[in-house]
Amino acid sequence: MNRTTLDLWVGFFVAIGIGALLFLALKVSSFPGIQMEKAYRLEARFDNIGGLKAQSPVRSAGVLVGRVTDIHFDPATYEAVVEMRIDSRYAFPADTFASIYTAGLLGDQYIGLEPGGDERNLADGARIMKTQSAVVLEKLVSQFLFNKAAEGQSTQP
């Protein structure tokens, strides 16, 4: 194989590698991709949102149904207010439950919507009343260590 052919193959594989890295970067960053033409806005309040950020996905049954559009702090209630845009193709009952979950090993967080059984649907601008905050790993570890330390002290005379 001559030098020109070898250089061509190396360049080809480098281009494929750069393309793969670009693809992974877009997947990890939750790139919004296709925009929803018709959507409605929902709001949910959480005690702790963990690492949730704007443009995070909103999923139901594993299907992407919307995106987080804005997150702000309400100084009156000391809660995080999360605003979402939901594709108008998907209607959710008024008693829908919103939870913050962690996806995969990288720890990207998203909102999961679990529909209830109410016959009325959430309208544009409605507030999801039932929410579950993010699980904070540091809090769980510190609680576990505190409980273990308390058990150790209670067994000593």
Tens digits of residue pLDDT in 6-49: 888 999 999 999 999 988 877 766 555 556 678 999 999 999 99
Picking from 111, 103, 28, 39, the residue whose alpha carbon sits closest to that of residue 71 is 111
**pLDDT tens track for 134-145:** 877 777 788 888
Question: How far apart are alpha carbons 12 and 58 in whole angstroms?
Answer: 37
Q: Which pTM does this prediction carry? A: 0.69
**pLDDT tens track for 60-89:** 998 999 999 999 999 999 999 999 999 999
